[in-house]
Structure 1
């Protein structure tokens, strides 16, 4: 399988303002075309609110859009993210489940604000919402980047990275995490909605024993090998794990847009896979549907 053919590149991990990205879904689609991609996936946190707009934009300009999501979970004392591809974005049970996850995310945000206030930082959740310059839809979600952006605007951090390094990253004084579902359950939700689950950016967890435990328990279709925060050694290590467990090696930039002149996590299209990988994910999703029927 050829992962890096220049003529058929897909970025399978991008975020829009339906969660914590800066661009509209349609803007991500247009940027994908400008950057020479043939396709992308919108994988917002705990919501599929941006997928329909992206699909329409893709049809209009000739870019393939893979319906996607990134579900927030917790395992082994760490926040674990699970990507899902080709899921039915109109599945009522999935939408109900995601609404509950966004409620947990909202409560987490409130706790972060409380902890920041206890540190003497003058910040409110309303200020974070006001920073959007638009109403927050019920099916959209706020994330830590929104809070970080407010910290920078109010002078409590010099840039987004500083806001995370000082306050919001795991283990820092403003970090908070409430009880969440586990990654194995999230993978089952994705399969039940007709999709193919993929373990996201395993290198960020700094615990490959936990990674293999999740793989053995959840049996995802794939693992995200190519990611903006993965180095060459990470890629080789997770390619070996993908081979060991028969997983599809996927990849994407985890693009969130530009804040204060900084791109998070990488520019759209800077990490990618070939169309063959996308086809394998589609077949895995179809196989899961047949297996559950």
Structure 2
């Protein structure tokens, strides 16, 4: 079967609307899709009518960018039911930090003699503000020729206009997802480049690994499947597609064994039932 549990839309930093993502998935014979936009669940709400029309199973999901031992660690949260209000409030806090960070980057670009309008960045964003929207504004002004150039010369990690985001560690992100009745999955573990960090995330309580990933080698896929089996973790699959015109431009859909989705669905349903008596409380770290 073909599924894709890691796709982005214009609700964050993708170039296709949620409905367009669903339609493209249907054209690729994808049966289950999850919109994993950064710090928002809005894409799934917008995509629901399109998914119903074409008969695709649509999951509520979100991507949380965290940091561990100097590496970026992406936690994907999946939900069988709508998460509680306190989780939405947590996401709004993350969104507000994105606004702060984007304004800081715009200010630093101005100091470098590359002024762009934050208002224009917001227009380009549609939903969540992210660095690709800043890169797009830079391209419009003729400062760079591509997103890659924008990242490498100005707004990528270590570049002169880069601004740090508010720190979020994997353990906290995992705790929030699980307390909201979801499953927390480590996205593209092979891209971290350090399996010691993968082990740290496993010890932090991760529920699953994205073993099937568009840019994993066959050897990496096999390795993370073995790790998932060793620790009794869920296995997911994703393209991390962002639509045309993005650095991560690739087709939607990942072929997987037929038993992968039923096994993941069982874990999803069990997660919300296990947490249901405590859903309104939030994670322990919130007090």
Task: State whether TM-score is above 0.5.
Answer: yes
Alignment deviations for residues 169-200 of structure 1 (CA, whole Å, 9 cap, x no partner): 32222322222321111112111222111011
Q: Give structure 2 stretches of 5+ with no counterpart.
A: 278-287
**Deviation of 1:247 (Å):** 1.6
Bigger shift: residues 89-98 or 159-168:
159-168
Alignment deviations for residues 217-276 of structure 1 (CA, whole Å, 9 cap, x no partner): 2x22211122233333332332232232222221211111112xx56242212x343553
Counterpart of 1:59 in structure 2 is 52
Q: Where does 1:96-135 land on structure 2 (aligned, <5 Å)?
A: 96-132=89-125
Report if the CA contact (8 A) 1:190-1:196 is conserved.
Answer: yes
Give the alignment's Cα RMSD to 1 decimal. 2.0
For residues 97 and 282 of structure 1, the distance between their equivalents in structure 2, rounded to whole angstroms, comes to 25
- The counterpart of 1:212, out of the listed 199, 206, 210, is 199
For residues 9 and 272 of structure 2, the distance between their equivalents in structure 1, rounded to whole angstroms, comes to 28
**SS across alignment from 2:259:** helix
Counterpart of 2:33 in structure 1 is 40
The 1:120–1:56 alpha-carbon spacing in structure 2 relative to 1, beyond 3 Å, is same
Report if the CA contact (8 A) 1:48-1:89 is conserved.
Answer: no
The reply on whether 1:250 has 2:236 as its aligned counterpart is: yes
Q: TM-score, normalised by structure 2?
A: 0.88
The reply on whether 1:224 has 2:210 as its aligned counterpart is: yes
Alignment deviations for residues 64-105 of structure 1 (CA, whole Å, 9 cap, x no partner): 111111112222223321101125335201111111111111
- The counterpart of 2:130, out of the listed 143, 158, 176, is 143
Report if the CA contact (8 A) 1:42-1:50 is conserved.
Answer: yes
Alignment deviations for residues 12-53 of structure 1 (CA, whole Å, 9 cap, x no partner): 111111111111111110000111211211111000011112
- The counterpart of 1:14, out of the listed 7, 11, 29, is 7
Counterpart of 1:264 in structure 2 is 248
**SS across alignment from 1:254:** coil
For residues 205 and 152 of structure 1, the distance between their equivalents in structure 2, rounded to whole angstroms, comes to 29
The 1:171–1:89 alpha-carbon spacing in structure 2 relative to 1, beyond 3 Å, is farther
